Structure 1
Amino acid sequence: MDAKAKMLRKLMEIEFACVDLNLYLDTHPSEEKALQSYNYYSEQLKTLKTQYEQVYGPLMAFGQSASQYPWKWIDEPWPWEIQY
């Protein structure tokens, strides 16, 4: 697996943890440890997304991610086309 695929896979793992913790906190809003974990992984996700986009281009279009010149969104492979 190349560096781009490894980074993208790590992004997906952290994003999954954020979604899972988000759902848990919806039903357990007073769980301080879960909230701390959510905040930790949210920061990790933000940092990793920024690093990924600086090297490989935007992960999302429609105003969610800035792009370097030239327009990077059309570069292949698309994130969902990468073989793991």
Structure 2
Amino acid sequence: MDDRKVLLNRVRICGFVLQEIALFLDNNPDHQEALDCYKKYLDMEREAKDMYVKKYGPLSHTDFAGGNRWNWVDGPWPWELDEEA
């Protein structure tokens, strides 16, 4: 598996885990272990996303890096990578 797919999968996995922990924390807001786990995965997601964006371009329109060209439209789109497999 190439580096692009590894990073994209890392972002996806972290996002899934964060969503699940957030649902748990909605009902258990004082659960310190869950909150610590959430923070850990949030950092991991940010790191993986930053690495992906620096190497391969934006994952969403909010990853716009400035400049004088809207690079969000450059391909391939993240979901098109699944079609290449």
TM (normalized to structure 1)? 0.86
Name the residue aligned to 1:74: 73
Q: How many residues align?
A: 82
The residue that corresponds to 2:49 in the other structure is 49
Q: Percent of aligned pairs with the same residue?
A: 32
Moved over 6 A (4+): none
Contact 2:14–2:41 (Cα < 8 Å) also in 1 = yes
Q: Which has the higher helix share?
A: 2
Structure 2 portions without partners, runs of 5+: none
Distance 1:78 1:67 in 2: 17
| Displacement after TM superposition at 1:38 (Å) | 0.2
Q: RMSD of aligned C-alpha atoms?
A: 1.6
CA distance in 2, matches of 1:72, 1:3: 21
